[in-house]
A and B are shown apart, each in its own frame.
Chain A
Amino acid sequence: MEIKNAFAGTLESGDILIQIAPAEKAGLQIELDSTVAYQFGEQIKKVITETLTGLGINDASVKATDKGALDCTIRARVTAAAVRATGKDVWAD
């Protein structure tokens, strides 16, 4: 799937900023900067990975700047960024 640069989210407390770019190498490269990295870093990466692969995106470079977002927020932001990056609207039908 072709990927363009796209982002979704904000840097507000409780939110996460997801920036998606074309992959430099195969697979998902996730770079995470989180205020709750110690406690939830692995969980956040897992949710990002699951959400992207669920949308059929297996190769991308993702930069995530997290301000303590809940899993539901992370899924929503990743999905929105993926829609913008691929041009494929998952909510259309």
Chain B
Amino acid sequence: MNSIKDRAALISEAAARMGKETFKGTADKNTMARTELTQQGAKVTTLEDAIRKSGLQDGMTISFHHHFRGGDKVINMVVAKLAEMGFKNLHLASSSLIDVHEPLIEHIKAGVITKISTSGLRGNLAKEISHGLMDEPVIFRSHGGRGSAIANGDLKIDVAFLGASSADPMGNACGYSRSENAKSICGSLGYALPDAQYAKHVIILTDDLVAYPNTPFSISERNVESVVVVDSVGDSSKISSGASRDTKNPRDILLATQAAKVIINSGYFKEGFSIQTGSGGASLAAVKYIRQSMIDQGIKASFALGGITAHMVKMHEEGLIDRLIDVQSFDKVAAESLKSDPMHQEVSANEYASFDEPGSATHSLDIVILSALEVDVNFNVNVLVGSDGIIRGAIGGHPDTAGDSALSIIVCPLLRGRIPCVVDEVTTHITPGSSVDVVVTEYGIAVNPRRPEIKERLIAAGLNVVEINALKDRAKSIIGEAAPLPFGDKVVGIVMNRDGSVMDVIKNIVD
């Protein structure tokens, strides 16, 4: 005979050999209608309870994304709650920090936050840190560098607090909502995806809890431990403020038209090319001015990367750009497009710009247009520390895209007020000169001597090509000689290269 009873001894023997239990029978089925059951959502709870359940302890690392940019409400809300609950000594690892995160100053003074990792700092928080607010230096990474550091364990995240414009009770979350109660939209959650994948514990904060299933989703429920409903995760109207504004400044427009001419005559402007624009008025606007040439010459781009903007979306909808690869939606139009257009693909920071992943999108990028606070005569670029020695920007994807693209173009005015943008040596080294190809200013275009073929093409096209030293001298002749900055001896920031090595340090400023 061969009934289950007859095989019982063999089953026990097999289980023992495998070190497993034998099957004891299932629990009773839950017969509740699933629409009701999923709405109960075992993961849905309050912020305080979610923090308790996360096992967060003093000294651990918490993380955030900055997709709402100037409109972000999550960081201040969560850190205030952590302070109220008595946490100390936390390491705050955000994809970036902006003016709106000024309340962190008080939490740093109170010892709630004692270490920061970020792509950038702005406003009064940056000013205080530059003056020595923190004992531990801030660790600055590029977006691609942060993705790599999270993946390879350099940056270990204990609890990620990720704002989402919609989530279902299981934790499937998006940077937009398809429900009629939608309160916010930020589009791509690209900088939050490494956190969602690698953090030990993930808490989703949302201002629109929708019915299961919230498909298609960016963050999968399987990476999410808790879902917290809040009044607002961010003010979407403030996404395209600050560094990602659309310019009306005539000098920016002049720079953008010059940059467009460089692109068109660079040798890379041909069928199937790919392009990215960084933040900053002139670099964002440049794409507007290559549009007509694309139409006239019948050239189409295979994809646009990055920081997707309304201009990019428009050109995609016109058929001029085939696909959009979006790690961060720079305005509401881009965010809406990501929601509705399947050819507009959301990618993680790793898929976007990891140095150590040969498949990351920056490796397939032809042309990138970037801004700069300073460029020096060796083509090194600073986008983080102002010429007054005070931190006032962000690394962003600058070194990632400059390093991996076939052609990197830096667009910056020769002077900002009395501050020169072309200098002998940058205040802080962010993007190495070896990865910078062309510098466009309103007083002329300088080409890195490593790229003589580009220089020839631009001269042949009748562009005003000059030596970088001539630009530096011109700036100096207009503004005069600057006194040295009053740096102190304390290191307030460490700049990581995207390959995980230490690139530079930032010293404190003494008034």
Contacts and interface: CB of A to CB of B under 8 A. Distances in A.
Interface string A1-28: 0000000000001100000000000000
B135 interface: no
B8 interface: no
Interface string B461-488: 0000000000000000011101101100
Given A13-B417, A39-B387, A70 B479 contact: yes
B390 to A, nearest CB: 9
Nearest to A69: B418
A67 B417 CA distance: 7
A39 B478 contact: no
B248 interface: no
B483 A42 contact: yes
B389 interface: yes
B486 A68 contact: no
Nearest to A12: B417
Contacts of A39: 387-388, 418-419, 482-483, 485
Contacts of B483: 38-43
Interface in B400-444: 416-419
A67 to B, nearest CB: 6
A75 to B, nearest CB: 13
Highest count of chain B CB atoms <10 Å: which of A38, A41, A69, A70:
A38
Interface string A49-72: 000000000000000000111110
A35 B417 CA distance: 9
Given A40-B482, A41-B483, A68 B388 contact: no
Contacts of B479: 40, 70
B250 to A, nearest CB: 13
A68 B485 contact: no
A35 B482 CA distance: 13
A26 to B, nearest CB: 28
B477 to A, nearest CB: 11
A13 B389 CA distance: 19
A38 B480 contact: no
Contacts of A40: 418, 479-480, 482-483
Contacts of A35: 388, 417
A38 B388 contact: yes
B135 to A, nearest CB: 24
B386 to A, nearest CB: 10
Interface string B217-260: 00000000000000000000000000000000000000000000
Interface in B310-340: none
Contacts of B478: 70
Q: Which of B388, B418, B478, B483 has the most CB of A within 10 A?
A: B418
Nearest to B390: A38
A40 to B, nearest CB: 6
Interface residues of A, number: 15
A68 B419 contact: yes
Contacts of B480: 40, 43, 71
A40 B419 CA distance: 10
Given A39-B387, A43-B480, A14 B417 contact: yes
B417 A38 contact: no
A70 B483 CA distance: 15
B387 to A, nearest CB: 7
Contact of B417 (A43, A69, A71): A69
A73 B485 CA distance: 23
A91 to B, nearest CB: 25
Contacts of A38: 388-389, 483, 485-486, 509
A73 to B, nearest CB: 9
Contacts of B387: 39
A40 B90 CA distance: 39
A76 B509 CA distance: 32
Contacts of A69: 417-418
Interface string B117-151: 00000000000000000000000000000000000
Nearest to B478: A70
A70 B479 CA distance: 6
Contacts of B419: 36, 39, 68
Nearest to A73: B418
B480 to A, nearest CB: 6
Interface of A: 13-14, 35-36, 38-43, 67-71
22 contacts: A14-B417, A14-B418, A35-B388, A35-B417, A36-B388, A36-B419, A38-B483, A38-B486, A39-B387, A39-B388, A39-B418, A39-B419, A39-B483, A39-B485, A40-B418, A40-B480, A40-B483, A41-B483, A67-B417, A68-B419, A69-B417, A70-B418
Closest 6 CB pairs of A and B: A68-B417, A39-B482, A68-B418, A36-B418, A14-B417, A13-B417
Given A35-B417, A36-B417, A70-B418, 17 more contacts: A13-B417, A14-B417, A14-B418, A36-B388, A36-B418, A38-B388, A38-B485, A39-B388, A39-B482, A40-B479, A40-B480, A40-B482, A42-B483, A67-B417, A68-B417, A69-B418, A70-B479
